[in-house]
Amino acid sequence: MRKIGALEAGGTKMVLAVYLEDGTELERLTLPTETPEETVPPMIAFFRRHQVDALGIGSFGPLQLDPAAPDYGSITSTPKLKWKDYPLLKRLLDGMDIPAKIDTDVNAAVLAEVELGAARGCRNAVYVTIGTGVGGGVYAEGKLLHGLVHPELGHMLLRPHPEDPNPRGVCPYHEGCMEGLAAGPAIGARVQGDARDLPDDHPTFAIEAYYLAQMCVNLILTLSPQKIVLGGGVLGRECLLPMVRRETLRLLGGYVQHPAILQDMDNYIVAPELFPVSGLVGSFLLGKQALMEADGQ
């Protein structure tokens, strides 16, 4: 059985794995994300040692995802300056004549949740991770959504909560965007400390739920997904997901009349089933797609 390499490329760590075509994992390796010169050679060595037949990559971005572009597979305008304009796909394939696919880490995650996890069977779904940043992947009509570049759900603009002491947020690019208002650093700035030590009834969690619910409302009204999957470290606070569901219903105001929302919200806005390996499993699925396409399937 052929082997498929998978890479989940993150800002703090790189997670590599080799799978058989049937999804059996053979080996996994985690490396710290340093400079490309330090990080990429051991990744190449790992995949070469296993003689993989295809490669799938889910990476932090932004990325160039147009296959016709000369810099296809490159990391572009990332704030991680050492990786800016780095040709990740090209470097990893150096000397290996194998099919490969690259996409954002969150698109890889939504693919995994649709194929094997919380959004199984959906033709339209969204995966959003809320941690040190906010990123979202979109699966629309059975395909990963790219469009002009790729979705940047973390930077949609939101209406500030009236009791938010920092309504401008902390994003250096946009005042009042989702990431600047709802990611982990925004919560820390709001409470001027570590939110993990706060009780569930602390006002900051109502503010957080308000922002997450606004995002969900925007997703419902623009993309009409069959499932919204919310993951990431911030959602580790168990009180948040029920609060987000209630606040989403309130903000929708009865406008969307569908049983999934009106009667079954607990199964509409959900946690990922594959966390924390959604992105890695999705990268394997990207590699499997590349292999099947090379086979003419």
Annotated domain spans of the chain? 3-104+276-294, 118-270
Q: What is the second-level CATH architecture of the domain 118-270? A: 2-Layer Sandwich (3.30)
CATH 3.30.110.40 fits 3-104+276-294, yes or no: no
Identical fold between 3-104+276-294 and 118-270: yes
pLDDT in tens, 87-96: 999 999 998 9
For 174-241, the three-class secondary structure string (H helix, E strand, C coil) is: CCCEHHHHHCHHHHHHHHCCCHHHCCCCCHHHHHHHHHHHHHHHHHHHHHCCCEEEEECHHHHCCCHH
Q: Which residues pair with 144 in a beta bridge?
A: 139
Give me 189's structure tokens: 């700035």
pLDDT in tens, 165-208: 999 999 998 999 999 999 999 999 999 988 888 999 999 999 99
Which residues neighbour 159 within 8 Å (Cβ) at sequence distance 6 or greater?
176, 214
For residue 79, give the 3-state DSSP assignment: coil
Which residues neighbour 174 within 8 Å (Cβ) at sequence distance 6 or greater?
155, 157, 180
Residue 149: the pLDDT is: 79
pLDDT in tens, 80-123: 889 999 999 999 999 899 999 999 999 999 999 999 999 999 99
